[in-house]
Structures are given as C-alpha cells and as structure tokens.
Amino acid sequence: MSVTTKNEVLLQADKLTRRFGGLVANQDISVTLERQMIHVLLGPNGAGKSTCINMLSGDLPPSEGRIHYLGRDITALTAAQRSQVGIGRSYQRTNIFPQFTVLENVRLAAQSRRQQPWRLFSKAMEQKWALEKARACIEEAGLGKRVDWVSGVLSHGEQRQLEIAMVLATDAQVLLLDEPLAGMGSEESASMVEVLKRLRQTRGILLVEHDMDAVFAVADMITVMVNGQLLECGPPAQIKASVAVQQAYLGTEDSFHV
C-alpha cells in the first residue's frame, strides 16, 4: 500500500478468510476502498475473487476476519442489511427481473429505501419519488432510451447497465461490481468505462474484471489475488512493474494455475 490519499475510507476488510470444508478459498485477504476510487480485484479464474466479493456483500459469511464500513463493524450483517447501510452489488451472471420493464426493475430497487409494506391500498406505480429516482438512475447508467422495455429482451450489455442502475437506486456509496464488462463488445465496453468513471466521482467502486485494457484505463488501485491469497496490492504502475505479478498472472498464466 504505497499510495495514501485524503479520501474517506468507505470499506475496509481485514484478513478475510473463507474455507469450504478443507479448501481455503480466501486466506487473509485485506482490501481498502476509498471514496472517489476504483479498486480492481484481479486474478486468474479460481483465484477467489468472487468469494471475496461475496464476503463483502454479505452473501457469504467469512470464516475469519472483519469488515468495516465507515468505521462500523458490519461483519455480522446480512446482505439485506448491508444494502441498507450503503453497500450495493451487481452479479457476475446477470441478475435482473427479466419479466419486468427496465423502469420497474429500478423502481423496485428504489422502493427498497422507503419500505411501507403496510400500505396495502396505495399503488406502487403512483409513488412519484420512486419513479423519479428510478428514471434518474436509469439515465445515470446510460440506459435512458430503454426505460419502458421489458428487461429480458435487452442486449447483454444493456442488462449489465440495468444492474448498475438498480444498485444506484439503492443509494449505494460502495459499488461491488462483479465483472460488469464480461461479454461486452468493445463499443459497449468503452461506454461502460465512461459510466464507471462518472460514478467514481461521488462513490467508491470495487471491481472484479478480466478486461486488462479496461482495468488499466480505470483502476486507481489494483489488488492481485492468486489461489485465494493476496499477491500484491498497489497502483496500476506498480502492478504493471511487479515481477511477481508478471510471473504469477500476466505472463505465464497457463503454467501457474492448475
């Protein structure tokens, strides 16, 4: 950790370890995420990146280690509780409500911030605040042209944008994005990179990504994982220059992971 900035620390994970039976999927992984920063989690398949993001989002309880959000220990919180404090995530496999329209997907996400389940006789579609917020988030994610489309028929790239709009609608300060560029064409990819840069201005983003060009285009900080272990953490220039990373990942990938 060579770079220190004045930015507010949003998320801090200390020595997260996760075991599945005898298998250690993550060992002593520590990650810090600051506001206005994109922190990329890098590593070959099976390195444990998804496990790590699942522990941060609350989908998977860590075997050991603590997680703090704005200084508060959130290790014991469920995924829903973490969403309520301000941590949002997208999934590696697109995870939307395909039969709903784009607007309804995002409106449902917005509604989660002001839940009034006892109001059985009010119409969801007449809640102006949620609709307005949903439209704003759809716009912010670059999906303004598709508001009324049934989300199941969107292109793959658009569905990834929709996921981001949903996360935004939950007022998330921390965005945990699991491969948002996967399966995208170069044009879609480039526009998503722009979206990410824009989102960074007010939030912190933790990104799992394989697309190297994109990674080095947006990353402020990179953590490299191999076989569930933390190999190196630093700004892009340091990672590019690192001999260990070269050997373990960038160069001789095939010979490394079994």
Partner 1 sequence: MNANASLIPKLVALAIVACVPLSGESFYIEMVGKVLVMAIFAMSLDLLVGFTGLVSFGHAAYFGIAAYAVAILSPEYEAASLWYVLPASVGLSALAAFVIGLFVLRTKGIYFIMVTLAFAQMAYFIFHDTPLGGGSDGKYLNNKPSASIFGWEPFDLTNEVHMFYFVLAVLVLVYLFLARVLQSPFGRVLVGIKSNEHRMQSLGYYTFRYKLGAFTLAGALGGLAGFLYAVLSGFVTPELLSWHESGNVLLMVILGGMGNLAGAIAGAFAFEAMREIFADITKYWQLLMGGVIVAVVLFLPGGLAGVPGRIKRALQGGDAK
Q: Which residues would be at the binding site for partner 1 (CB under 8 A)?
A: 57, 59, 78-80, 83-84, 88-89, 91, 95-101, 104, 108-109, 111-113, 115-125, 127, 148, 150, 166, 170
Q: Which is nearer to partner 1, 101 or 227 (CB)?
A: 101
The distance of closest approach from Cβ of residue 156 to partner 1 in the complex, given in angstroms and rounded to an integer, is 17
Enter the DSSP assignment of 86.
Answer: T
User: For residue 168, what is the enclosing H or E element?
Assistant: helix 156-169
Q: Which is nearer to partner 1, 78 or 191 (CB)?
A: 78
Residue 89 β-bridge partners: 176
Q: Which is nearer to partner 1, 15 or 113 (CB)?
A: 113
Q: Which is nearer to partner 1, 95 or 252 (CB)?
A: 95
The distance of closest approach from Cβ of residue 251 to partner 1 in the complex, given in angstroms and rounded to an integer, is 36
Residue 224: both structure tokens together? 């490299």
Nearest C-alpha neighbor of 32 from the set 231, 206, 239:
206
Q: Which is nearer to partner 1, 118 or 187 (CB)?
A: 118
Helices 128-140, 186-200: crossing angle, 10 deg rounding: 120
Cβ contact 167:136 at 8 Å: no
Q: Give the start-end residues of each E strand in the chain.
A: 9-20, 23-34, 37-42, 64-69, 72-73, 87-90, 174-178, 204-208, 221-226, 229-234
Q: Which is nearer to partner 1, 167 or 224 (CB)?
A: 167
The distance of closest approach from Cβ of residue 176 to partner 1 in the complex, given in angstroms and rounded to an integer, is 10
Q: Which is nearer to partner 1, 71 or 121 (CB)?
A: 121
The distance of closest approach from Cβ of residue 238 to partner 1 in the complex, given in angstroms and rounded to an integer, is 33
Provide the residue type at 62 as one letter: P
The span from the CA of 128 to the CA of 215, in Å, is 38
Q: Give the start-end residues of each E strand in 157-220.
A: 174-178, 204-208
Buried b (16+ CB within 10 A) or exposed e, 39-63: bbbbbbeebbbbbbbbbbbbbbebe
The distance of closest approach from Cβ of residue 15 to partner 1 in the complex, given in angstroms and rounded to an integer, is 24
The distance of closest approach from Cβ of residue 117 to partner 1 in the complex, given in angstroms and rounded to an integer, is 4
The distance of closest approach from Cβ of residue 235 to partner 1 in the complex, given in angstroms and rounded to an integer, is 30
Residue 43: both structure tokens together? 């590593």
